[in-house]
Amino acid sequence: MVAFSGTRHQLTPAQISCARAAVASIPNSQSILVGCCPTGLDALVTSLCTQRPLSVFAANSHTKLALRNRTLRMVHQSHTLFAFPASSAIPHSGTWLAINAAAAMGIPVFVFSATPAAPLPLIGSIQSWSRVPSTQTPWGFPGFVFSVPVVPVTQSYLHF
- List of domains in the chain: 2-146 (3.40.50)
pLDDT given for residue 2 in this prediction: 96
Q: State the pLDDT confidence band at 39, using cuts at 50, 70 and 90.
A: very high
Phi-psi region of 77 (alpha: psi -120 to 50; beta: other; left: phi over 0): alpha
Contact at 8 Å (CB) between 76 and 106? no
pLDDT given for residue 117 in this prediction: 77
CA dist., res. 76 & res. 3, Å (int) = 10
Q: How many CA atoms lie within 13 A of 58 on its CB side?
A: 3
pLDDT given for residue 110 in this prediction: 94
Contact at 8 Å (CB) between 25 and 2? no
pLDDT given for residue 34 in this prediction: 96
> How much is the average pLDDT of 74-95?
88
Nearest by Cα to 15 from 144, 147, 148, 149: 144
Whether the predicted pLDDT of 159 surpasses 80: no
pLDDT given for residue 115 in this prediction: 80
> How much is the average pLDDT of 99-111?
93
CB crowding 23-53: b at 16 or more within 10 Å, else e: beebeeeebbbbbebeebbbbbbbebbeeee
3-state secondary structure of 96: helix
Whether the predicted pLDDT of 160 surpasses 70: no
Contact at 8 Å (CB) between 157 and 125? no
> How much is the average pLDDT of 8-20?
93
